[in-house]
Amino acid sequence: MNFILSGILWICIYLVLVLTPLLVLLVRPVPGGIGFWWDFSLALGFAATTMMGVTFALTARFRHAVEPFGIDIVYYVHRRISIIALFFTLLHPVLLFAEEPMLFEMLKPASMPSHLMAAIGSLVCLLVLIGCSIWRAQLGIEYDRWRFWHILLAVAALTLAIVHIQLVGYYVDAPWKKTLWVVIPASWIFFLLYRRLVKPLLIMRRPFRVTDLRQERGNAWTLVLEPEGHAGFPFLPGQFAWVSIWNTPFAMREHPFSMASSAEHPDKLELTIKELGDYTRRIGSVQIGERAYLEGPYGIFSIDRHQAPGYVLIAGGIGVAPFMSILRTMADRADPRPVQLYYAARTWEGLTFREELQQLEASIDLETVVILEEPPSDWEGETGRISEEILARHLPKERIKRCYFVDGPVPMMEAAENALLALGIPGRDIQVELYDLV
């Protein structure tokens, strides 16, 4: 209930941030108005600008603000709002030119007024920014490079939009409105400064040391981190943190990893990381004693946020990491509730945590169903990929009373979610962790 109330509060704060600059425009003196479509088009332009500006607040990762929703949902909303802002930005000139065809004269490069140049610059930045975000993987843009340009283009798009508004001067012709429409956008940039300067400083005050590194099955490594000069990092089982190793948090090279260890031991964190790309392939070479910084914890993918009489956990590959935290925490708490773990992997030899899962079956009410894509010749268990048939064979009779968590590669998560829905599990009881934030 608390999270519902604080969720409503944060939505209200968001609406105030977006609507205040717009309402200010309606305070007298207000221009007489030229006609509905003309004024509507201006409203779209102003609305797009405030929506773009307030996205800096959405991505500032204010922990209390993202807590009720989960950060993956906040990023999802950020993406959707940016696309709506782009749509409004495109519609703004279309309506203006349709209403007043004489404006086409202004498009001649030789005589183009500077407010129009600023508007076109802003639109181009926005188009490149959103295009590169939607098709980043297809365009082969490396994540860190993409993020750097994403921020730069966002600041450029917003600055040029404000220059355009100021130069046109319509609706902001009163000096106090003009000033306000500089001060408010500057406050949006504050969110960016908070995220890029203040937050890294706070994170640096609570460093960690790598105290152990273990090789795991399936090209994965477990990194053990202990706090240096502070009590630790309280988290809920299933949550994740943004981790910086080899760099300070200022370097913008942090990666998200789930805590795999028990939430009952916040003074000794374990992250299990699968070798996948440039960054994760270097994890095996981390030196003991190396400094690390953690930002978080984030996420609502936790049994502590979704109380139920029992759980079903569905993992694909390294998606098992947050589930290890859940299972280890349940063991430490002597939690008697039943849990089923469906664990899809390629091979038996590469099944990360294979031995420990067998031990956990002895200490908590855990049943593990392993599904192998390339099973050994004497394998008698499930094969192939997670499917409705496999789930139907193993789910308990009281399946409707359980809460479901799904984590792994996107196609596997979609298949598992669809299978659960087909088996009559209500969508509200299915929690998914998005490993693919962008």
Ligand X SMILES: Cc1cc2nc3c(=O)[nH]c(=O)nc-3n(C[C@H](O)[C@H](O)[C@H](O)COP(=O)(O)OP(=O)(O)OC[C@H]3O[C@@H](n4cnc5c(N)ncnc54)[C@H](O)[C@@H]3O)c2cc1C
278 binds ligand X (CB under 6 A): yes
Q: Which has the closest alpha carbon to 418: 391, 383, 378, 438?
A: 391
- Binding residue (CB under 6 A) for ligand X from 161, 300, 318, 415: 318
Phi first, then psi, for residue 365 (nearest 5°) are -80, 70
Q: Does residue 22 sit in helix, strand or coil? A: helix
411 binds ligand X (CB under 6 A): no
257 binds ligand X (CB under 6 A): yes
What's the CA gap between 419 and 207, in Å, rounded?
43
Which CB atom, from 380 or from 436, has the smaller least distance to ligand X?
Answer: 436
Q: Which stretch binds ligand X (CB under 6 A): 188-196, 248-256, 306-314, 397-405?
A: 248-256
- Binding residue (CB under 6 A) for ligand X from 276, 308, 392, 400: 276
Q: Which stretch binds ligand X (CB under 6 A): 4-12, 102-110, 249-257, 376-384?
A: 249-257
- Which stretches of 273-409 are DSSP H helices? 321-332, 354-363, 388-394
235 binds ligand X (CB under 6 A): no
Asked if 209 contacts 45 with a C-beta cutoff of 8 angstroms, the reply is no
Q: How many CA within 13 A on the CB side of residue 8?
A: 4
279 binds ligand X (CB under 6 A): yes
Asked if 272 contacts 260 with a C-beta cutoff of 8 angstroms, the reply is yes
Which CB atom, from 254 or from 382, has the smaller least distance to ligand X?
Answer: 254
The CB-of-375 to ligand X minimum distance in angstroms stands at: 23
The CB-of-204 to ligand X minimum distance in angstroms stands at: 18
What is each CA distance from 204 to 140, 200, 201, 266, 305, in whole angstroms? 32, 6, 5, 18, 28
308 binds ligand X (CB under 6 A): no
What's the CA gap between 347 and 374, in Å, rounded?
5
Which CB atom, from 172 or from 318, has the smaller least distance to ligand X?
Answer: 318
The CB-of-318 to ligand X minimum distance in angstroms stands at: 4
Residue 111: count other Cβ atoms within 10 Å of its Cβ. Answer: 9
277 binds ligand X (CB under 6 A): yes
273 binds ligand X (CB under 6 A): yes
Number of residues that bind ligand X (CB under 6 A): 23
Give the 3-state DSSP-derived string for 166-207, with helices as H, strands as E and coil as C.
HHHCCCCCCHHHHHHHHHHHHHHHHHHHHHHHHHHHHHHCCC
The CB-of-82 to ligand X minimum distance in angstroms stands at: 17
Which CB atom, from 278 or from 355, has the smaller least distance to ligand X?
Answer: 278
Q: Which stretch binds ligand X (CB under 6 A): 80-88, 98-106, 152-160, 254-262?
A: 254-262
410 binds ligand X (CB under 6 A): no
438 binds ligand X (CB under 6 A): yes
Per-residue DSSP letter, 297: E
Q: Which has the closest alpha carbon to 259: 333, 346, 329, 173?
A: 329
Which CB atom, from 137 or from 423, has the smaller least distance to ligand X?
Answer: 137
Q: Got the DSSP string for 298-317?
A: E-S-STTTS--S-EEEEEEG
What's the CA gap between 263 and 308, in Å, rounded?
18
Which CB atom, from 275 or from 335, has the smaller least distance to ligand X?
Answer: 275
- Binding residue (CB under 6 A) for ligand X from 40, 62, 143, 194: 143
435 binds ligand X (CB under 6 A): yes
The CB-of-199 to ligand X minimum distance in angstroms stands at: 15
240 binds ligand X (CB under 6 A): yes
Which residue is it, tokens 């994540």? 143
- Binding residue (CB under 6 A) for ligand X from 6, 211, 219, 280: 280
Which CB atom, from 72 or from 382, has the smaller least distance to ligand X?
Answer: 72
The CB-of-262 to ligand X minimum distance in angstroms stands at: 15
What's the CA gap between 79 and 71, in Å, rounded?
12
Asked if 371 contacts 426 with a C-beta cutoff of 8 angstroms, the reply is no
Asked if 241 contacts 266 with a C-beta cutoff of 8 angstroms, the reply is no
Which CB atom, from 202 or from 276, has the smaller least distance to ligand X?
Answer: 276
Q: Which amino acid is at 207?
A: P
What's the CA gap between 121 and 29, in Å, rounded?
30
Which residue is it, tokens 């935290």? 325
Binding site for ligand X (CB under 6 A): 137, 143, 240, 254-258, 272-274, 276-280, 318, 321, 433, 435-438
